[in-house]
Amino acid sequence: MQYLTNFHSHCYFCDGRASMEQFVRYAVAKGLRAYGVSSHAPVSFNTRWAMHYDDFPEYLQEFYRLKKKYSAEMELYVGLELDYLPEEKDAAFRLYENEPLDYRIGAIHYIDNLPTGQKWNIDGDPQLFYMVCELLYDGDIRRLVKRYFEQLCRMISSARFDIVAHLDKVAYNAAQFRDFDSTASWYTDLITETLKLVKEKDLIVEINTKSVASRGVTFPNRQFYPLMRKMKIPVMVNSDCHYPDGVITGMKHTYEALGEAGFRTVRILKGGKFVDMPIN
């Protein structure tokens, strides 16, 4: 891939481990042609991983400073990774609807609260995931996974965003269950139905490369590339970096795999618009 891009990234404004500028400088050094900042949008409960409501103006301000400073090196874009929460539905999406953002990423990290009312992140500690499956879904991993896709499809139906984040992220922790087989028809049907909705709503599916180095997997999993190709779903390769050296992690491998699955282009932002860029 000649025209390298990444539109899913974090920084000090949320749970990223460096400043926005450090990430941008790293992206410049790695030869990226376009880079998007997409901090976790503020949420209505206390957390360390999301931006604070008060910081949003400064987030935009810092972005515009960098956009100007690095305009000769690369295109910079500003977005947010927005959470679709079970009890709030698309409230966050509506809140930032009229802000001057270049794009929006929609994500599911929460599907149900614990009996105590506490939040539980499906992407968190594997042991907690296992315990919550016992507690909320009678130990039935299918029920948990179905619940995730139910929420995901609700978010997609709202269509108040552009890019679907890590579509099968629940598989990361579900994989520890012996009963979870990603090739079983109940599961592949869920993926197919979700992709149909993505297509209907004209959204982009990101291929999230964050876990390629650590787990050898992308979200969605490589097994679904041919299906997405067949359904003509536009895809975008994003690293979801939280550390500057993760800016292009797993991308080379992923572009190759997409090519093998028959993809000729990926969707990116160029000149302020979504366009299809040839992979080679």
The site for Zn ion (CB under 5 A) is made up of: 81, 107, 165, 240
CA–centroid distance for 213 within its chain? 17
The CA distance from 243 to 256, in Å, is 24
Nearer to Zn ion, 81 or 230 (CB): 81
Nearer to Zn ion, 37 or 107 (CB): 107
Nearest distance in Å: CB 223, Zn ion: 21
47-62 CB burial, b ≥16 within 10 A, e <16: beebbeeebbeebeeb
Nearer to Zn ion, 158 or 265 (CB): 158
Nearer to Zn ion, 165 or 277 (CB): 165
Contact present, 232 and 194 (Cβ < 8 Å): no
- Nearest to 144, CA basis, from 134, 131, 155, 133: 133
Eight-class DSSP state of 246: G
Nearest distance in Å: CB 108, Zn ion: 8
Nearer to Zn ion, 81 or 168 (CB): 81
Nearest distance in Å: CB 231, Zn ion: 23
Nearest distance in Å: CB 273, Zn ion: 23
Cα–Cα distances in Å, from 265 out to 122, 187, 236? 31, 27, 9
Nearest distance in Å: CB 240, Zn ion: 4
